[in-house]
Amino acid sequence: MSPDESAVHLGDVSASEFRRAMHRVADLTADYLEQVHAYRVVPRVSPGDVTKLLPGSPPEEPESLDRILDDYKRIIEPNTTHWNHPGFMAYFGITGSGPGILGEALAAGLNVNAMLWRTGPAATELEELTCDWLRQLVGLPPAFRGHINDTASMSSLLALATARQRVGAADIRQRGLAGRPDVPPLTVYASEHTHSSIDKAMIALGLGLEQLRRVQADDGFRLDPAALAEAIAADRAAGRRPIAVVATVGTTSTTSVDPVRPIAEICRREKLWLHVDAAYAGSAAVCPELRELMVGWEAADSIVVNPHKWLFVPVDCSVLFLRDIETLRAAFSVVPEYLRTSEHEATNLMDYGVQLGRRFRALKLWMVLRAFGQRGLQERIRYHCGLARRFAALVQGEPGWEVCAPVPFSTVCFRAVPELPLEEQNRFNERLLAEVNARGPVFVSHTKLRERYVLRVAIGNLRTSMSHVAQAWELLRAVRARLAAEW
Ligand code: PLP
């Protein structure tokens, strides 16, 4: 072997081998998306089953890409929970749409680490541009600047860190919180239905879970502004220092919408940071008629919207909008000598968060926004909301079932109401869910509302149509009838 041949041998797979395998990956992915409905949504596996199918130690000798892709097809694909399945109606339904998958593949090819403008000019500028497109699409004012993170959990953590920076005490960045008798407990307020990511942010920021006030919600699962005002007053009277309020537009259990306008008014009066968690429902604001549900969010200091939830962008892609993005930079920017560059006017994405390295997530967002266009996004979101309303009507029209929360978007909370004591009803619904999910064609999740075990159907997948929703309903009815007969 010549030195040149041996160098090629020691490099990556050859260009021709890569091209052939990439074509096969295209076929595998396209076949998968065409056929995904034929799988069970949740595979019939137990913990450890996948590991048993794989060797416990890495291969000593190189393996061919064909062999690896064969194993992908044989072991990985069938043992996956199929989030791209039309019967996936659990948690919040999502879609890795075609344009999004293409963007993800291209980003992997470029393998950009956009920590600095210089290390990723296109990635940096496309991120700024696509975030501004998204801002326009959801009808937020130009004052908001967007920043892409992996998840809403990270976006909310950064939002609360920025709140701490601005409202708390600027020197926390420098001196920390430990051993500081001069810093009172810093309190944050959110509804009892707020996502657990806010709890995690409290932990990570050193504020402590005890300083998260879970304010009581009203009958519609919305934060009660009067209870919020009272909680803030009580904390001030006790010498604590309120710093931020989290309002949720589209809570995880019921998709209820906190009354953002009165909450924003309290925040203005009390000089508190307002963070709006619109991770799921923010996407619905592409439809002007649904923006009514979020009135007041334009007064927030920060808002998180996850295009990877209901805007058909593959996981992960979360956009944090900030009115004052410079405070986020002030909270996190640390520039060692080896990362100094001369483009002082350019954005360096590493300054806006914890991590230095950054994936090129804007590419898939850009491709989705272009390939669907505003009209395409609106049509699909309206269709999903319509499916949810039709499902809710089916439930409501059947004796012995009830819809348990309003349906403002594409998620329905409901339960069977057999004539049994509440605890038995809960067990009945739990069994019902387990048996429906065990059948295979649909996957539904649950929550608990006022001590009631409640089922949730969440529409968010582009492949879901009325026939899948009707199938889910028929399955629920059939399993319920069987269970009732033997209960
Ligand atoms: N906020 C809300 C309202 C959510 O429903 C979720 C997840 O479902 C999150 C935040 C967390 O999202 P992520 O997985 O992007 O951190």
Give 8's pLDDT tier (boundaries 50, 70, 90).
low
Which residue range(s) make up the domain with 18? 3-38+43-79
Ligand 1 center to 72 CA (angstroms) = 29
| Count of other CB atoms within 10 angstroms of residue 212 | 20
Predicted model pTM: 0.95
Residue scoring higher pLDDT (237 or 178): 237
pLDDT value at residue 5: 61
Per-residue DSSP letter, 165:
I
481 in a domain, yes or no?
yes
Strand order in the sheet with 411-416: 88-89, 443-449, 452-458, 411-416, 401-403
**What is the token pair recorded at 175?**
């001196």
- Quote the ligand 1 centre to 252 CA distance (angstroms): 7
Domain co-membership, 257 together with 167? yes
Say how many Å lie between the CA of residue 246 and the centre of ligand 1.
13
Number of the ligand 1 atom closest to the C-alpha atom of 252? 5
464: Cα separation from own chain's centroid:
19
Which ligand 1 atom lies nearest to the CA of residue 248?
Answer: 3
Q: Report which protein residue has its CA nearest ligand 1's atom 12.
A: 152
Query: Of all atoms in ligand 1, which is nearest to the CA of residue 92?
Result: 8
Pocket residues: Cβ below 6 A from ligand 1: 92, 151-153, 195, 197, 248, 250-252, 277, 279-280, 306, 318
Question: In this predicted structure, what is the pLDDT of residue 2?
Answer: 62
Rounded average pLDDT over 247-261 = 97
Report d(CA 464, CA 89) in Å as an integer: 9
Give the nearest ligand 1 atom to 150 CA: 15
Which CATH number goes with the domain that contains 61? 1.20.1340.10
Report the separation in Å between the CA atom of 421 and the middle of ligand 1, taken as the mean of its atom positions. 33
Q: How far is the CA of 153 from the centre of ligand 1 (A)?
A: 6
Residue range 452-465, pLDDT digits in tens: 999 999 999 999 99
The answer to whether residue 365 is domain-embedded is no
Confidence of residue 373 (pLDDT cuts 50, 70, 90): very high
Identify the pLDDT of residue 180. Answer: 87
Q: Where residue 278 falls among pLDDT bands split at 50, 70, 90? A: very high
CA 39 to ligand 1 centroid distance, Å: 26
- The Å distance, Cα 276 to ligand 1 centre, comes to 12
How far apart are the C-alpha atoms of 95 and 89, rounded to whole Å? 11
% of residues, the chain, pLDDT over 90: 92
Confidence of residue 1 (pLDDT cuts 50, 70, 90): low
- Mean pLDDT along residues 104-122: 97
- How many Å lie between the centroid of ligand 1 and the Cα of residue 380? 21
In a domain? residue 250: yes
355 and 394, same domain (yes or no) = no
- Range list of β-strands (E), 173-314: 186-191, 212-215, 241-248, 273-277, 302-305
Same domain, 384 and 337: no
In a domain, 108, yes or no: no
pLDDT in tens, 402-415: 999 999 999 999 99
What confidence score (pLDDT) does residue 174 get? 86
Domain count, the chain: 3
pLDDT of residue 380: 97
The ligand 1 atom at the shortest distance from the C-alpha of residue 318 is 15
User: Which of 333, 359, 385 is at the close of a domain?
Assistant: 359
Domain match, 423 and 295 both: no
| 3-state SS assignment for residue 272 | coil
| pLDDT the model gives residue 9 | 66
pLDDT exceeds cutoff 80 at 263: yes
The residue whose CA is least distant from atom 8 of ligand 1 is 252
Residue corresponding to tokens 């059947």: 398
CATH for 436? 3.90.1150.10
Ligand 1 site-directed mutation target among 160, 252, 260, most atoms within 8 Å of CB: 252
Q: Give residue 132's pLDDT.
A: 98
d(CA 165, CA 25): 46
Confidence of residue 6 (pLDDT cuts 50, 70, 90): low
Phi, psi dihedrals of residue 302, rounded to the nearest 5°: -150, 150
**Long-range contacts (CB closer than 8 Å, 24 or more residues apart) made by 103-110:** 103/313, 103/363, 103/364, 103/365, 103/366, 103/367, 103/368, 104/314, 104/363, 104/364, 105/25, 106/363, 107/359, 107/360, 107/361, 107/363, 107/364, 110/360, 110/363
pLDDT in tens, 315-356: 999 999 999 999 899 989 999 999 999 988 899 999 999 999
pLDDT of residue 36: 97
Asked if residue 364 is part of any domain, the answer here is no
Tokens for 451, please give them: 């001590």
Pocket probe for ligand 1: among 156, 306, 308, 445, the residue whose CB has the most ligand atoms within 8 Å is 306
CATH (domain of 261): 3.40.640.10
Interval between CA 30 and ligand 1 midpoint (Å): 28
**Are 316 and 379 found together in one domain?**
no
Q: Are residues 351 and 467 in the same domain?
A: no
Atom 9 of ligand 1, nearest CA residue: 152
65: Cβ–Cβ under 8 A, 6 or more apart, which residues? 13, 17, 21, 24
What pLDDT shows up at residue 395? 98
- For ligand 1, atom 5: residue with the closest CA: 252
Report the percent of the chain where pLDDT is more than 70.
98
Same domain, yes or no, for 119 and 32? no
Of 10-19, 304-313, 422-431, 473-482, the one with minimum mean pLDDT is 10-19
Q: Is the pLDDT of residue 141 over 80?
A: yes
Instruction: Measure 42 CA to ligand 1 centroid, in angstroms.
Output: 21
> Is residue 105 included in any domain, yes or no?
no
Domain end (from 359, 382, 399): 359
Q: What is the pLDDT of residues 211-230, one digit of tens each?
A: 999 999 999 999 999 999 99
Cβ 286 vs Cβ 137: under 8 Å: yes
Averaged pLDDT score across all residues of the chain: 95
pLDDT over threshold 60, residue 442: yes
* CA of 97 relative to ligand 1 center, distance in Å: 20
Q: Which atom of ligand 1 is nearest to the CA of 281?
A: 3
Q: Read off the pLDDT of residues 176-211 as tens digits, 9 standing for 90 and up.
A: 888 888 889 999 999 999 999 999 999 999 999 999
The helix (H) or strand (E) run that includes residue 411 is strand 411-416
What angle separates helix 260-270 from helix 225-237, to the nearest 10 degrees?
20
- Indicate whether 25 pLDDT > 70: yes
pLDDT tens-digit profile of 151-177? 999 999 999 999 998 876 658 888 888
Q: List all residues 6 or more positions away from 197 whose beta carbon is below 8 Å from its beta carbon.
A: 151, 152, 153, 156, 157, 277
Q: Which of 446, 447, 445, 440 is nearest to 471 (CA)?
A: 440
Residues 271 and 200 grouped into a single domain = yes
Which pLDDT score is estimated for 82?
Answer: 97
Residues 415 and 326 in one domain: no
The CA 458 to ligand 1 mean position distance, Å, reads 14
| Ligand 1 center from residue 228 Cα (angstroms) | 22
Probe ligand 1: pick from 193, 195, 251, max atoms within 8 Å of CB?
Answer: 195
Nearest alpha carbon, ligand 1 atom 4: 252
Confidence at residue 63, expressed as pLDDT on a 0 to 100 scale: 95
Looking at residue 166, its pLDDT comes to 83
Last residue of a domain, one of 53, 79, 105: 79
Q: Which of 153, 246, 297 is the pocket-test mutation for ligand 1 (most atoms within 8 Å of CB)?
A: 153
Q: Which of 6-20, 32-46, 92-106, 122-136 has the lowest mean pLDDT?
A: 6-20
d(CA 356, CA 203): 21
Based on the fold, state whether residues 333 and 390 are members of the same structural domain: no
- What is the atom index within ligand 1 of the atom nearest the CA of 251? 3
Say which DSSP state 352 is in.
G
Do 398 and 299 lie in one domain? The reply is no
Ligand 1 centre and the CA of 279: distance in Å? 6
Claim to verify: residue 258 and residue 281 sit in the same structural domain: yes
What DSSP line would sit under 59-122, residue for residue?
-SS---HHHHHHHIIIIIGGGS--TTSTTEESSS-----HHHHHHHHHHHHHT--TTSTTT-HH
- Counting atoms of ligand 1 from 1, which one is nearest the CA of 151? 15
